[in-house]
Amino acid sequence: MSTAPEAVVEIADAAFGYGGAPVLTGVGFTVLPGEAVALIGPNGAGKSTLLAGILGLAEHDARTFRVPEGRGEIGVLPQSSEIDPAFPVTLEQVVAMGRTPRLGLRWPGRSDRRIVADAIEAVGLTPQRRTRFGDLSGGQRQRGLLARALASEPRLLLLDEPFNGLDQGSRDALLETIRTLKSRGVALLITTHDLDLARAVCDRTLLVNQQQIAFDDTDCVLTLERVEAAFASHVIEIDGHTLTTTAHHESEHSAHHRLLQDDDAERDRAQHR
Amino acid sequence: MSPDVAVLDWPALDFFGLAMVEVVLAGALAGVVGVLVVLRERAFFTMSLTHATFPGAVAAAILGVSIPLGAAVAAVALVAVAVAIGRIRSQGPAVASGVMLTAGFALGAFLQSVAPLAIDVESFLVGQVLAVTGADIALTAVLLAVALGVWALAGRHLVFSSVDEEGYRSAGMRPWAPEAVSLALIAATVVAIMPVVGAILGVALIVAPAATARLLVRDYRWMLVLAPLIGIGSGVLGLLASRWLDVAAGGAIALVAALAYGAAWLARALAERGVAARGAAGRGSIEARTP
């Protein structure tokens, strides 16, 4: 018996795409149980394609490709929700939907209801459980969708830009939830533009821009040179230094500049917009 | 119906009693399936489907075969046409439904004009519930049981895929399955309630009660309770009105359903105005205190 825990995700020499030319190539990384891996890269780098590939919604070509395949074993927190605010469902019902892959056509039992209640508790929304989903604030809806992902008891959780648009309280709560999940052995893959948050909770970081640039311990990956390589052609700020590189993509310039700024400044600006 | 199902006729009930049983079952069925139509935003599709069944019914009458069977075959054929049109680049599903709607109705009118025998087209269009048979009632009852069974077993799948199709797919499930089940249930319901409200008015009994319930409640489970009750109420009131006022039952039932929707809309608008007025009064008093 091996003492090292078996990886939840094991991918080597992989390319991802949607039928045509691959969007992201040269991908190789693992995610261990209880580990959080940050997925960092500029817009259009292929982060969402990689997540879609893990879910089986995008195509992949790989030497090794091992991800959880059982029903409900992968949970997803989407970047934005398509849920119509007027749809007549309560928060509790939305969270219970996360149980659907595990249940199939089975009727939910006491343990299922317990898991749904625990998931709502974990994101701190128990008092709002009977509120119509559309009546919750943006941050609360995001937490509700995280609870929906937790309700399937995933081995792997994919979080797509989970910190975007969250206020300080929701941010801290989410960081705490991520730490709790790690301690329970859940593997997490988190896309983010926020390098400080990656440092706060992510053990390792996968840096991509149409191809894999680095995969290693977060502190080793998030160096000036590597981030510069990933965000080539953008002005970025990291560890108090400002980098100005050749601007091939002038139109995206300001967006990345903003996203890589210090959190508080970013949040202030977001609130003023 | 064919003679071999005549044993299903209930001798204890006169034609009005049979009609009453049928409108209660059809109202409940239309309400339960209507929730699916409203939550999945398939009202226009349903409308097209009701028109598509018309030529099938006429053809069945000409050929002397079961009319629900003819209507069902036409519904399936025209759904296939709609799916094909929907795939044509730059033609959305609304276009497909629109083409299906007019084509179905035109085909029915054409078939009726070339029919060797006189066919009572009106009964297909607006229903003839007083001529309902035991077989019609049995079909409606079976379908009601099926619809309730589908909601009980797969309700979570139906709602999940309605509210968030992308999330449903990301959770590793296939959205086409609940979609196919929904369309099949809608098509079967359109066919089953044809004797009550006909092809053209069927959409009123399916969509209006569920849309009314949607206005009144904030939890879809209550829609599943309210919509069938409103459907049954519309059917019973419409049938009684047709007897008292000596008017066509199909039209009366569809009108009651539409009136229920109008009343619910008005009630909600008034309630919202009341809330706004109280809010304004509250603000007024605060402003009065802080000049």
Rounded to 5 degrees, what angle do the CA atoms B53, B144, B151 make?
105
Cβ–Cβ pairs < 8 A, chains A and B? 73
Residues belonging to chain A with any Cβ–Cβ distance to chain B shorter than 8 Å: 55-57, 71-72, 74, 76, 78, 81-84, 87-90, 93-94, 96-101, 103, 105, 132, 145, 148, 152
Q: Tell me whether strands A59-61 and A9-17 are parallel, antiparallel or unpaired.
A: antiparallel
- First CA to last CA distance, chain A: 55
Residue among B157, B214, B220 whose CB faces A89 most closely: B220
Q: Which of B153, B156, B172 sits opposite A74 (nearest CB)?
A: B172
Tens place of pLDDT for every residue, chain B, 291 residues? 444 444 455 566 788 899 999 999 999 999 999 999 999 988 888 888 888 888 888 888 888 888 888 888 888 887 777 777 766 666 667 777 788 788 888 888 888 888 777 777 778 888 888 888 888 999 999 999 999 999 999 999 999 999 998 899 999 898 888 988 998 899 899 999 988 888 888 889 999 999 999 999 888 999 999 999 999 999 999 999 999 998 889 999 999 999 999 999 999 999 888 877 766 655 544 433 333
Domain layout of chain B by residue ranges: 10-289
Closest-approach residue (CA) in chain A for B161: A97
SS3 content of chain B, % helix, strand, coil (to 5): 85, 0, 15
Inter-chain CB proximity A57 and B170 less than 8 Å? yes
Confidence of residue A39 (pLDDT cuts 50, 70, 90): very high
Give the residue extent of every domain in chain A: 87-148
| Predicted pLDDT of residue A263 | 42
Tell me how close the Cα of A209 comes to any Cα of chain B, in angstroms. Answer: 24
Would you state the torsion angle of the CA atoms of residues B88, B90, B93, B95, taken in this order, to the nearest 10 degrees? -100
Q: How confident is the model at residue A240 (pLDDT cuts 50, 70, 90)?
A: low
CA distance B287 to chain A (A): 28
ipTM reported for the complex, 2 dp: 0.81
Q: Which of A79, A70, A65 is nearest to A16 (CA)?
A: A65
B211: contact with A, CB 8 A cutoff: no
The DSSP call for residue B12 is T
* Residues of chain B found within 8 Å of residue A84, distances taken between Cβ atoms: 163
Task: Kindly determine whether residue A82 and residue B164, on different chains, have CB atoms separated by under 8 Å.
Answer: yes
Q: Could you tell me which CATH class the domain B10-289 is placed in?
A: mainly alpha
Work out the minimum CA distance from A83 to partner chain B, whole angstroms: 6
The phi and psi torsions of B136 (rounded to 5 degrees) equal -60, -45
The answer to whether B271 faces chain A, any CB pair under 8 Å, is no
Q: Look up residue A15 and give its two tokens.
A: 């390319």
For residue A90, give the DSSP letter.
B
Determine the residue type at A168.
Q
